[in-house]
Amino acid sequence: MTHGTAPTAPRSTLVITAHAGDYVWRAGGAIALAASRGEKVTIACLTYGERGESAKAWREGKTLEEIKDIRREEAGQAAATLGAEVVFLDAGDYPLTATPELTDRLVTLYRRTRPDVVLTHPLEDPYNGDHPAAARMAMDARVLAQAIGYPAEGEVIGAPPVFFFEPHQPEMCDFKPQVLLDITEVWETKRRAMECLAAQRHLWDYYTDLGKRRGVQLKRNAGPNLGLPHTTYAEAYMRPYPQVTGELA
């Protein structure tokens, strides 16, 4: 390193999800890839999914606090498996409601993590209003974190690109796979993280099959001679803002 040159900070990814398991199914591959490259990944779980996504625990007679503990433990194990830090905001699900206090906490998180990339839900989901609520808060907080006059801790940030990860019902959420991310090299890591989420065991095979299908689409769109393996896994993303580039590729 040249004397007098400050070390370059590792790239930072901020993932904002409505419920404790969402980030694993939708973006576990992207998280594992970033972590494998030495990048910092911070996951903000706005809720534990204790009311709307923990049916098995409710049927077993668990209390609300017991269910939160279960989901916190599962999501913490999954994040550790992927190589990420997870922050639980415990804002309450079904419904997840935006408040000035919650927005302020997200702005502070943006300024603390200073993300190069933001991953969150799409803005439409007729099946689960918590998901677009989380997306709207993520995007609003991103704008506020750039405003020098907004009274939150930390220095203002730039404008990190946002990627919407794939929802459970993409056709009904107006989701189009504009970006296909090759996650083959970290697929086994993502699968292990999924298996941490025993509360939603029914989704393990669903998202394994989806990863394979998106992998087939990735190969079809990747061009020739890339040496991709026979079984390729991928995740799909959308971009709400234009890509800024000096070269079309």
Sheet architecture: strand order including 117-120 = 85-88, 40-45, 12-17, 117-120, 162-165, 234-238, 179-182
Helix (H, G, I), strand (E, B) or coil at 249: coil
More confident residue, 205 or 1: 205
Confidence of residue 2 (pLDDT cuts 50, 70, 90): very low
pLDDT for 222 equals 85
Would you tell me how many other CB atoms lie within 10 Å of the CB of residue 220? 9
Q: What phi-psi label fits residue 191: left (phi over 0), alpha (psi between -120 and 50 degrees) or beta?
A: alpha
Closest of 239, 240, 235, 238 to residue 24, by C-alpha: 235
**Percent of the chain with pLDDT strictly greater than 70:** 96
Model pTM? 0.94
CB 43, CB 31: distance < 8 Å: yes
Cis peptide before 151, with omega less than 30 degrees from 0?
A: no
Token digits of residue 236: 């799909």
Q: Is the pLDDT reported for residue 203 higher than 50?
A: yes
- The CA distance from 167 to 236, in Å, is 10
CB 82, CB 192: distance < 8 Å: no
**Structural domains of the chain sorted by starting position, each given as residue range(s) with its CATH number in brackets:** 12-238 (3.40.50.10320)
pLDDT tens, position by position, 23-55: 999 999 999 999 999 999 999 999 999 999 898
CB 161, CB 185: distance < 8 Å: no
pLDDT tens, position by position, 164-201: 999 999 999 999 999 999 999 999 999 999 999 998 89
pLDDT tens, position by position, 90-115: 999 999 999 999 999 999 999 999 99
Confidence of residue 223 (pLDDT cuts 50, 70, 90): confident
